[in-house]
């Protein structure tokens, strides 16, 4: 079984913060949902029996206004169908690229008090994920 990756480690977050913060960043998101959301004991949604997908939708509804306020936008989204190259157990339920005007904007979002409440839905929803910071380049005909 592969290790779950839901939140960044302290070392990963420190490495993110050490990179330049003033230029736009694109965040590649790959997400696999839990069959049933796993809320912490005492959370109001724990008794609802939500699926991972339903909990992730709640995360999107609650975090979306904050994401948009900091200037974030989803520039590509897709429903993965098959892992053609890579481990077969790294199947994903959703994939998208979120563009932020800067790393400052991303950090503003994840430290916002309302976002910190909303992220509980993401943590309950996600079985594993990948969040990869990218330096956006102009789209074109080449790969590099």
Tens digit of each residue's pLDDT (9 = 90 or more) over 65-124: 999 999 999 999 999 999 999 988 889 999 999 999 999 999 999 999 999 999 999 999
Number of domains in the chain: 1
Q: Is residue 104 part of a domain?
A: yes
Which CATH number covers residue 121? 3.30.70.100
Q: Is residue 15 part of a domain?
A: no
Q: Is residue 18 part of a domain?
A: no
Determine the structural domain holding residue 111 and report its residue range.
24-134
Q: What is the largest CA-CA distance in the chain?
A: 52
Q: Is residue 5 part of a domain?
A: no
Q: Is residue 119 part of a domain?
A: yes
pTM given for the model: 0.92
Q: Is residue 113 part of a domain?
A: yes
């Amino acid at each position: 079984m592969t290790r779950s990756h839901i939140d960044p480690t302290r070392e990963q977050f420190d490495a993110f913060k050490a990179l330049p913060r003033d230029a736009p960043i694109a965040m590649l998101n790959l997400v696999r949902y839990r069959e049933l959301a796993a809320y912490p004991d005492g959370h109001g949604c724990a008794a609802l029996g939500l699926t991972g997908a339903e909990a992730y939708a709640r995360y999107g509804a609650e975090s979306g206004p904050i994401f948009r306020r900091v200037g974030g936008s989803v520039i590509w989204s897709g429903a993965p169908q098959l892992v053609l190259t890579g481990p077969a157990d790294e199947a994903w339920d959703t994939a998208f690229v979120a563009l932020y005007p800067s790393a400052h904007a991303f950090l503003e979002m994840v430290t916002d008090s309302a976002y910190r409440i909303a992220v509980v839905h993401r943590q309950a929803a996600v079985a594993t994920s990948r969040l990869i910071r990218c330096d956006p380049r102009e789209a074109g005909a080449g790969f590099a």
